[in-house]
A and B are shown apart, each in its own frame.
Chain A
Amino acid sequence: MFQQMNIQQNFPEYNIPGKQHHDFSPYESNGGSIVAIAGKGYAIIAADTRLSSGYSIHTRKQKKTFKLTDTTVLGSTGCWCDTLSLTSLLAYRMQSYVHTHQKTMSTNAIAQLISVMMYNKRFFPYYVSNVLAGLDEEGNGVVYSYDPIGHCEKTTYRAGGTAGALLQPVLDNQIGYKNQNLAEKPEITKEKAISIATDTFISASERDIYTGDSVVICIITKDGIEEKTVQLRKD
């Protein structure tokens, strides 16, 4: 039962019962959720601050939003070590762009760059859920979301991370007005977007153990990026 063949020597190799055997996995899910909503003249992106693995919480104050430029913010969750690798490489690529082109990157240029960087590791992917929010050239909000191997989609609202599947239908209903026979679909104001994002996180922390502690909301407008923190469940 504990016997294994060693292919090199055709020699039985015994695993001693009671001895701990660790199998190395390069990946780990560290949890966290992101919600981003874009509208006329603004974009907001919110992410919780809990960093965990399994049943243990590492820290309750890990920000998962990364300010890339004055008009672009990236939210990244999943395998935290991949998030760190990706964002530091991204910072380097963006700085390199500034030196070559003498201008900061636009939101859509960053969106494309992230897609290329993710696909570059197609066969050993960054195990992360990315959502990029920012303002386009006209100053209107845009949201880009990704899968772990670099597929990119441009949308106006998106939920990602461990509670992504829990939150997306709420956004579909509240922001996309999906499956409702409405004569007109009222525009979502910035204040409404912030309040919906906050509520989704309060709800997510009730059902998803990997989401909680607090949520940091980045509000992106032409005047800059404002940051708000709302406390969530800590259990």
Chain B
Amino acid sequence: MQGYNDGMSRPFWSNGPSPGQFYNFTGGDRSASQGFGPQNNFGAQRSSQPITTGTSVVGIKFDGGVMIAADALVSYGSVARFQDVKRVFKVNDQAILGTGGDFADFQSIQRSINDKMIDDICHDDTISLKPKSLYNWLTRILNNRRNKFEPLWLDMVVGGIENGEPFLGHVDLRGRSYEDDIIATGFGKHLALPIIREQIVEGRPFTQEEATNLIKKSMEVLFYRDCRALSRYYVAVCTAAGANVSEVQKVNQNWEVATVVRGYS
């Protein structure tokens, strides 16, 4: 094939692993077999507990879209350390993501996703990452890290619109994943899910207004009962019109009942 402009030709398969091998994503330049952590005479040291953590994430599908909410708190053990943090974010016009678990791991994965989005935009071909692809990608990344016993300690809720249909899925630190119409993580699984489930009308999806109110109610209950929750939260909404993260929302608080309680003073 002489006469072909070699200056423009690119290897068909570049920057990738050898055929039959695996990517070592988040592993930097190390090969997949080298593993993680500083090596010493006693073997490798791994960190395997979350340090700064976010609590529950709640996601709901509604007629024509999906919304994901998480409060604004990142805790350091029992310290309410960072109190205005967005744990939900817009990936692109068709995908949103909410995360609980280790916040540093979330920021790391968020940086990688934003890099992917810049790549997408630079291609300038109107093709961008779809929610199911993002969901599957996260599944593989998290599972790959758990296989190395160096998990990304995350509980993620992926949402978006794909082929006109709302999508909502959950991925955890092992890479376990499932899709559903309502998803909650952590305390939300115990407190928010039953509240939302009670309002389901068989054969009809929620309207956006209903979903917004259910999120509001869920975050309120979570604030009252989850010691690692905060009264302020953010909601990411994705519809066919695009995705956006709300202004900070406040839960309704009513402590009047506290004046009736006797025996503590």
Given contacts A8-B40, A24-B149, A84-B143, contact A59 B49 (CB under 8 A): no
The answer to the question of A61 belonging to the interface, with a C-beta cut-off of 8 Å to chain B, is yes
Q: Are A84 and B77 in contact (CB under 8 A)?
A: no
- Closest residue of B by beta carbon distance from A19: B77
Closest 4 CB pairs of A and B: A24-B48, A81-B176, A81-B174, A81-B175
The answer to the question of A26 belonging to the interface, with a C-beta cut-off of 8 Å to chain B, is yes
Given contacts A8-B40, A22-B48, contact A80 B176 (CB under 8 A): yes
The answer to the question of B52 belonging to the interface, with a C-beta cut-off of 8 Å to chain A, is no
Size band of the interface chain B makes with A? 20 to 34
The B131-190 residues at the A interface (CB cut-off 8 A) are 139, 143, 146-147, 149, 151, 153, 170, 172-180, 189-190
Size band of the interface chain A makes with B? 20 to 34
Q: Are B175 and A84 in contact (CB under 8 A)?
A: yes
Shortest distance in angstroms between A152's beta carbon and chain B's nearest beta carbon?
24
Q: Are A58 and B170 in contact (CB under 8 A)?
A: yes
26 A–B contact pairs at CB < 8 A?
A: A7-B42, A8-B40, A8-B45, A19-B77, A22-B153, A23-B48, A24-B146, A24-B173, A26-B151, A27-B174, A28-B176, A30-B176, A56-B189, A58-B170, A58-B180, A80-B176, A80-B177, A80-B178, A81-B139, A81-B174, A81-B175, A81-B176, A81-B177, A84-B177, A85-B143, A124-B147
Q: How far is the CA of A27 from the CA of B146 in the complex (A)?
A: 9
- Closest residue of B by beta carbon distance from A18: B78
Given contacts A18-B78, A23-B48, contact A85 B189 (CB under 8 A): no
Given contacts A51-B178, A84-B175, A85-B175, contact A26 B146 (CB under 8 A): yes
The answer to the question of A69 belonging to the interface, with a C-beta cut-off of 8 Å to chain B, is no
Shortest distance in angstroms between A78's beta carbon and chain B's nearest beta carbon?
11
Residues in A whose Cβ lies below 8 Å from that of B64 = none
A-B contact count (CB 8 A): 61
Shortest distance in angstroms between A113's beta carbon and chain B's nearest beta carbon?
16
The answer to the question of B50 belonging to the interface, with a C-beta cut-off of 8 Å to chain A, is yes
Q: Are B146 and A59 in contact (CB under 8 A)?
A: no
- Closest residue of B by beta carbon distance from A51: B178
- Closest residue of A by beta carbon distance from B146: A26
- Closest residue of B by beta carbon distance from A16: B77
Q: Are A22 and B176 in contact (CB under 8 A)?
A: no
Q: How far is the CA of A56 from the CA of B190 in the complex (A)?
A: 8
Q: Which residues of B contact A (CB under 8 A)?
A: 40, 42, 45, 48-50, 77-78, 139, 143, 146-147, 149, 151, 153, 170, 172-180, 189-190
Residues in B whose Cβ lies below 8 Å from that of A30 = 176
Q: How far is the CA of A28 from the CA of B146 in the complex (A)?
A: 12
Residues in A whose Cβ lies below 8 Å from that of B139 = 81, 84
Q: How far is the CA of A73 from the CA of B245 in the complex (A)?
A: 42
Q: How far is the CA of A21 from the CA of B50 in the complex (A)?
A: 9
Q: How far is the CA of A56 from the CA of B42 in the complex (A)?
A: 38
Q: How far is the CA of A22 from the CA of B42 in the complex (A)?
A: 22
Q: Are A58 and B178 in contact (CB under 8 A)?
A: yes
Q: How far is the CA of A30 from the CA of B174 in the complex (A)?
A: 12
Q: How far is the CA of A27 from the CA of B149 in the complex (A)?
A: 11
Q: Are B49 and A28 in contact (CB under 8 A)?
A: no
The answer to the question of A20 belonging to the interface, with a C-beta cut-off of 8 Å to chain B, is yes
The answer to the question of A104 belonging to the interface, with a C-beta cut-off of 8 Å to chain B, is no
Q: How far is the CA of A24 from the CA of B190 in the complex (A)?
A: 22
Q: Mask for A90-119, Cβ within 8 A of B = 1, else 0?
A: 000000000000000000000000000000
Q: Are A24 and B147 in contact (CB under 8 A)?
A: no
